[in-house]
Structure 1
Amino acid sequence: MDEDKKKKAKKEAMEWIKSIVFAIVVAILIKTFIFNTTYVLGSSMYPTLQERDRLFTNKITMYFSKPDRGDIVVLKAPDNPDKDYIKRVVGIEGDIIEIKNGSVYLNEQLLEEKYIGEGAYTHTYDKSYWEVPEGYVFVLGDNREEGASKDSRSFGCIPVDTIKGKADFRYFPFNDRFGKLK
């Protein structure tokens, strides 16, 4: 009888180990292919995002569609392979972006940007005109103060395949900013 208890305990332990391993594999697959979490550091997306916001980043949409204007995306930093940036897509392939007198123009039309601070002035650096090539997007941080955001004004248009996912939901902090991103 004692031998039966040992076999039963061993069998139960193996079932637990299998269940735990299965759960870990599923979690890794979800994190790798479906969604990830993003922790916001810095103020480059202020006022939309603030330091220490936590977001869900949807990866699966990137397998089926390209990013669209207005999407908030997480991308591999073009100037530092160990970092990711979070920015807003302002221009997609075929678009012409021009920054004049602190305002952004998309295809010769003033871009209405309700997500930036009132009276924000978009600074330029070496360039003020970009044509977005096929397979690329133009991204900007929502914080347009001089030097507040490393974005396409500094490193140019970015390849779509460097985008890791679309950030579309803030899950922390649990206050009036909790929920779907606009």
Structure 2
Amino acid sequence: MELNSQIDHAERKKKIKKEVLSWAKTLVVVLLLVVAIRAFLFTNYIVYGSSMMPTIQDRERVIINKIGYDVGSPDRFDMIVFHANETTDYIKRIIGLPGDTIEFIEDSLYVNGEFIEETYLNGAVAKNNRRHYTEDFKLEWLTGEKTVPDGHYFVLGDNRPNSIDSRHIGFIPFDKIVGKADIAYWPIKDFRKLK
């Protein structure tokens, strides 16, 4: 009887050890997947500052799709994260694609001579106390270029009176783009797909 008890105890120990080892392997695989996804597919950013308000608030957290532009090209009005310099990343909205002419007249965007509505700014423009929400300019006045160069993008913050963007730092080369801002996830009550 005592021998059976010792055998049962030894078998239970083996089963527990096997179960713990199985869970440990699973945990290692999950951690490796999380690291791989974060490194190659998606990453998260905390947005600092007010340059993308009202679309994205200061200290809001967003998920960046890092592979979308490996299979497709950036589109007008995509919100992108890019390396502004060696230590700082910015989040801004693409306004001009390669080959575009850009002009703002009386808070109206003209791309290649055609009016393009910026519906994401409607509330901000209406609440604006300044003469213009976006000061009048032509691409050539700011950059010396008539069109956005190949492989580059012209970006603006949604909070035009308070944004350092292509009006100040010039065109953004494609190879400096980290990815597209897809989702705002924190604070959780404001979880949403970004537009």
State the TM-score, normalizing by the size of structure 2.
0.78
Which residues of 2 match residues 63-78 of structure 1 at below 5 A? 63-77=70-84
Name whichever of 152-161 and 91-100 sits farther off.
Answer: 91-100
Q: How far does residue 27 in structure 1 lie from its aligned partner after superposition?
A: 0.4
- Cα 1:128–1:105 shift into 2, 3 Å: farther
Which residues of 2 match residues 7-86 of structure 1 at below 5 A? 7-77=14-84, 80-86=85-91
Could you list the runs of 5+ residues in structure 2 that have no partner in the other structure?
1-6, 126-131
Which residues of 2 match residues 158-173 of structure 1 at below 5 A? 158-173=172-187
Name the aligned partner's letter for residue 100 of structure 2: D
Q: Distance in 2 between matches of 1:156 and 1:179?
A: 30
User: Aligned residue for 2:160?
Assistant: 144
Q: Distance in 2 between matches of 1:129 and 1:179?
A: 38
Q: Distance in 2 between matches of 1:13 and 1:41?
A: 42
Could you list the runs of 5+ residues in structure 1 that have no partner in the other structure?
none
User: Aligned residue for 1:120?
Assistant: 133
Q: How far does residue 30 in structure 1 lie from its aligned partner after superposition?
A: 1.2
Q: Distance in 1 between matches of 2:64 and 2:143?
A: 30
Q: Distance in 2 between matches of 1:122 and 1:25?
A: 48
Root-mean-square deviation (CA, aligned residues, Å) is 2.4
Question: 1:42-66 CA deviation, whole Å, 9 max, x = no partner?
Answer: 0011111111222222222111011
Conserved? CA contact 2:153–2:172, under 8 Å: yes
State the TM-score, normalizing by the size of structure 1.
0.83
User: Aligned residue for 2:194?
Assistant: 181
1:132 and 2:148 equivalent? yes
- Cα 1:129–1:112 shift into 2, 3 Å: farther
Q: After TM superposition, where is structure 1 displaced by more than 6 Å over at least 4 residues in a row?
A: none
**Residue aligned with 1:127, SS:** helix
User: Aligned residue for 1:96?
Assistant: 101
Q: How far does residue 128 in structure 1 lie from its aligned partner after superposition?
A: 5.8
Conserved? CA contact 1:66–1:160, under 8 Å: no
Question: 1:119-178 CA deviation, whole Å, 9 max, x = no partner?
Answer: 513376x72664211111111111111xx2221111211111211111122223344x53
Name the aligned partner's letter for residue 25 of structure 2: K
Identity of counterpart residues, as a percentage?
Answer: 44
Name the aligned partner's letter for residue 155 of structure 1: I
